[in-house]
A and B are shown apart, each in its own frame.
Chain A
Amino acid sequence: MKISVNQLRNYVEINVPVEEMCERMVMAGFEVESIEKQGDNLKNVVAAKILKLTPHENSDHLQICSMDIGKEEPVQIVTGAQNISEGDIVPAALNDSYLPNGMHIVAGKLRGVESNGMLCSGEELCLTEADYPGAEVYGILILKNDVKVGTDMREVLGLNDYIVDFKITANRPDCNCFLGVAKEISVVLGTKYNPPVPYFETKGGDINDCIDIKVENYELCPRYMGRVVKNLRIKQSPDWMQKAIIASGMRPINNIVDITNFVMLETGQPMHAFNYNDIKDKKIIVRNARAYESITTLDGNEHPLNENMLVIADGEKPSCLAGIMGGKESEIEEDTKDLFLESAKFKRDNIRHTCRTLGMRTEASGRYEKGTDILNVEFAMNRALQLIYETDSGDIIDGVIDRNNGLPEDRIINTTAEDILSLIGVDVPTEKMVEILNNLGLNAEADGNKISCRIPSIRDDIEGRADLAEEVMRIYGYDHIIGTPMRGNVARGTILPQRKKDNKIKALLCGLGAFEATTYSFIPSKAIDTLRLDEADERRNQIKIINPLGDEYSVMRTQLATSMLTVLSTNINRKITEGRFFEISKRFVAKQLPLTEQPDELATLSIGIYGKDEDFFTLKGIIEEIMKLFGAHTQYERSNEPYLHPGRQALVKANNKPVAVLGEVHPEVADKYDIETRVYYAEIKLDILYSIEKRKTTYKPLPKFPAVERDFAMLCDTTLPVGDLEKAIQSGGSRLVEKIELFDVYTGSQIPEGKKSVAFSVWFRSADATLTDSQIEEVTAKIIKKLEALGAELRK
């Protein structure tokens, strides 16, 4: 909330520089968003007297002014203005001066004549009539003739104020006003707090003859207070009031509207002024709107209403949207004769809902949403009447109507000094605590160790000893808190097994040259179509965000390919020639849609690679290493993932459970991501991989006897998978086979059409003895038999 410091000085003595006050307020829990020193943007502009005016030789509208700026030598300034004469005192921006509109004035020549500055209009100084009479006149601002020549314009304009923007936390709605902040300042600085004491005189009559007020829904309107003021004298409000209103970011309108706004800014209690003469049947009814009713508010917009919304109606129809905005029909205008003035408390949830529903937000509704004090309703009303009385804005009719269902008593909190201190760990003397609590208006009394507080309704944020501890400490000073090292159990903390396993995979992948990526958990809703998934594919059951930031971030991902392809695309299109990336994140799998319970969040690993040395098999190599890490027994099967190349993809089964897919990305999909090169992608379901119980690693003795290596070269159908041949060798050689290595696959010249040449090296070894030639021959024969059974033809 922006507040003029000059205004605050009416309520509290500020005996330190403004910057220091702000710093101390920050340390008491009131963050300062900005300190604006008035006139900071107005530099080197002085009041100057026109000594002589000479016409410019080369211009029919320019005049050359000889200006007395309070120094020995006059200064020459050329101006185009016509409303000036010799002897006038005007604002002169001298060489190297700054104006509030951002202009920087330097000396120069105008049509060949030297000009050492500029004479200023009210507009150029960003002034209105409220700031200085004549400020809105077309032409140069003529200052009062008693202004001393040479005086800085900041002084002339009285720009000595600071405007401080305090950030008020949600627990302190009582500080969304001048008085709330002033009270805090008085406690922080230890100075006196002087709130206004409303006084006004009435002019007879009886309110009960003027108006009838009925509250139909006390739950939504716990208190409604009304007064009538007749014979309004609509005019401008006083300068000081306009300045305070402008400083807080509102616009002065006329005395009545300004008084309601000022009282809201000062007390935090919104006020509303009705044109009394527009109130039908002289009835004010606080009620829920009826279905199909509507209201046109002050801003000219018509709003359809519903039965949950609270309105202030007259005998016929709603004339005000309670707590939010008045109706156009009952607006205070220049010719308004009589006034009905409202001060009320409305339930904050209801105001909030209505604002949301209608998409409205006003200074008043903001305060109601944050919470207002039911007892403040009366003070604010009296304060408004005082201002009406003091500014002679109308005749106040005798009597008040105050509708409420009972007013709250102060709440008593009984606690002890120890209980308050036990949360803080700092020894604050009991007398000091009591003093602080009393200064804050919490009416504390100590009896030995017992402390009893009487909490006024305005501080309904104070609920118990924790709140009292905070109140004491923020004034006593948090710098009294001295850190103590962690006590108790000194054992190192534990970490979840899942995180440990993640870390193992990450270390492995980094070792294999892959970079960890981090991407958003939500993706465009249409991304799933880009992946060519079937209509029936479960991954289409994406959870939609009800209020997304835009379609780009609108659904929770059910797969990680979209994100990884984006990463690859970013890098490829930035001319990075190769890369390996991975991410461990979550897939969100709904148990049902629309969502009624928390979805499964499944840990998933995605890997994307590209570059001239990468292919399906480099990716497969990476997958194999990961599977080994978890001791998984793996199988690779042909698969049909729609976003992968139909002939270059595989499903990976770990201990017979499908755990991953890998392959080259389908060119059509890659194309949608502006990827023109071949890229490879794998997605691994970590929830499944991590469920594999890895057998404990135990040492196997190193071989004592030599191995024998034999090569097997063969011709077979091109369609016969190498994996089948490998299995045949393994089964033929059984326990004697130590290692099988594929070293050549060849098709082309000298190989018959439809055939390929495949060659393996196989190592045989026995743990018990050196293998004999006959043993080798026997096992070789078995292997050959198995290979031949598959249709392979051994080459000699």
Chain B
Amino acid sequence: MTPLLSVRDLHTRYAVGKQVLRAVDGVSFEVGRGETVGLVGESGCGKSTLGKTVLRLVPSAEGTIELDGADITRLGDRAMAPHRRRMQMVFQDPFGSLNPRHTIRALLDTALRVHRVSDAAERDRRVHETIAKVGLPVDSLDRYPHEFSGGQRQRIGIARALILRPALIVCDEPVSALDVSIQAQILNLLVDLKRELGLAYLFISHDLGVVRYFADRVLVMYFGRIVESASYATLWRDPRHPYTKALFAALPSADPTHKRGEPPIKGELVTTEQVRGCRFHSRCPAATDRCRAEEPVLRPLGEGHHAACHYA
């Protein structure tokens, strides 16, 4: 069976002044039906661009994107339209992602009208059904976004993503702008929706703790590339790439008796430098001359476990 989403050797480039920023630089992965794939990395690593490229919101430079086996990489707007219903997005900023000038009803109804659900009663039924699914009262529909709290807005954002009954939702940092107590509500809601509707998620986050909790499989991204991919359990038990290990080590434990060690890596991700060899070598505690000269490729380490490190 073909996977729901299949991405092959995808590249996305931005022009920054006269320089070219390779935000996504040769990424391949798949998302199965009903599967949650977590994409984790630090700010500037290209994870958000990858999500938007997959949704065809940002043009790709090379590579292919297949949805249900159909190549959608170069489809025009019109040909793309039917595929759009199949994959949707939930945004990080619950304030900026809802048009302040439209009521919630208009927000949801327009999406249906654009996709030619012409029967007004049917549209109304689906709008009501969707708003109930995300746990908001029906009277929310005639209000404007600014009348809601951050968590409620994020529910509205999820409703908008659900209204076309997609198979895949790209969640771009859906909880990082929310308070902890609200994060739990939204994560639980996403889990419930996945169970009820058989959704697949591409879950993008900088927080390895949240990703490991929420994903079935995790991709770790660094400087435009996937450096490790594994099931959540394998990654937790046996992280192999030094960067993944560093991310785990940097997570502050809520147990004060659990003493933290020295931060394993120093410095920060710098996206403007062109590097030879491994992209991580300048920050890697175990880097050798080989790492400085030769770029490692993702190689299999066991069942479904890949890492791009010479010494993994």
The judgment on whether A and B are partners is no
| Interfacial residues, chain B to chain A (CB-CB below 8 A) | none
| Interfacial residues, chain A to chain B (CB-CB below 8 A) | none
